[in-house]
Amino acid sequence: MSELRRTRIKFCGLTRAEDVAEACALGVDAVGFVFAARSKRLVSPAVAASLRDGLQPFVDAVALFMDNPADEVRDVIAAVRPTILQFHGDEDDAFCAGFGMSYLKAIAMGGDAAVDGAALLRRYPRAAGFLFDSNASGQAGGSGHTFDWSRIPGDFAKPYLLAGGLHPDNVSDAIRATGCWGVDVSSGIESAPGIKDAARMRRFVGKVRRADNAGT
């Protein structure tokens, strides 16, 4: 791990303006708005557009989808103006890249099947990065459960975010164990689905920064 390491932080599933403001004040790198139909944190494009207008400079807006029709994705892009797209379903590279924007592909890590990093890169050659999440294939994220971090492919050639069950008390261990490029948290900073807790948000960011500074 580099002495100048800075783990990127994404807060996902935001639904309230006050939570967006707190995320920006804490210096997170990105906030996620969820458009997956089965998610407890689903927001409409109109609500997300209003929240996106509250973002401060250099905080990215991420639009999260799971097998949404292409027309829905285009409508969200037009209304919300996200910085990057994130896909959690069975979308292929052609679909994900077909909107002319950078995208992240989420990989379901639930279960015990081996994950072939080289095969992932071949399957999604235009992905800007990946997100390893604890959900099983076909299930929505935000479950609050972790997975075996040792199953992440070694020497993965593209940036990846770690997600699934992260919270202030385990995120430092997660960073040290994986060397991930970024962390993605939702339920671990909530008091209820979609309702973020300011104290947990602050503790989470503080633990990430202390993990980054350890050994420097």
- Percent of the chain scored above 70 by pLDDT? 93
The answer to whether the CB of 95 falls within 8 A of the CB of 72 is no
Q: How confident is the model at residue 1 (pLDDT cuts 50, 70, 90)?
A: very low
**Active-site annotation holder among 12, 96, 184, 212:** 12
The Cα 200–Cα 25 span in angstroms is 14
Which of 144-148, 172-176, 195-199 has the lowest average pLDDT? 144-148
Q: What is the pLDDT of residue 134?
A: 83
Q: Which residues contact 96 (CB under 8 A, 6 or more apart)?
A: 85, 87, 103, 105, 124, 126, 127
**Active-site annotation holder among 19, 96, 133, 212:** 133
> Taking residues 105-118, what's their average pLDDT?
85
> Taking residues 177-204, what's their average pLDDT?
96
Domain range summary for the chain, segments of one domain joined by +: 8-108+115-213
Active site residue 12: yes
Does residue 114 surpass a pLDDT of 80?
A: no
Q: How confident is the model at residue 43 (pLDDT cuts 50, 70, 90)?
A: very high
Length of the chain, in residues:
216
Per the structure block, which two tokens stand in for 29? 């790198």
Per the structure block, which two tokens stand in for 57? 């400079």
Does residue 169 surpass a pLDDT of 80?
A: yes
Which of 24-28, 47-51, 52-56, 210-214 has the lowest average pLDDT? 210-214
pTM of the model: 0.93
CATH architecture of 8-108+115-213: Alpha-Beta Barrel (3.20)
The answer to whether the CB of 80 falls within 8 A of the CB of 99 is no
The Cα 142–Cα 99 span in angstroms is 25
The Cα 151–Cα 128 span in angstroms is 21
* Alpha helix positions (H), the chain: 17-25, 45-52, 70-80, 93-97, 117-123, 171-178, 198-213
Does residue 215 surpass a pLDDT of 60?
A: no
Strand bridging mode 30-34 / 8-12: parallel
Which of 100-109, 114-123, 130-139, 179-188 has the lowest average pLDDT? 130-139
> Taking residues 164-187, what's their average pLDDT?
95
Does residue 216 surpass a pLDDT of 70?
A: no
Q: How confident is the model at residue 40 (pLDDT cuts 50, 70, 90)?
A: very high
Summary mean pLDDT of the chain: 92
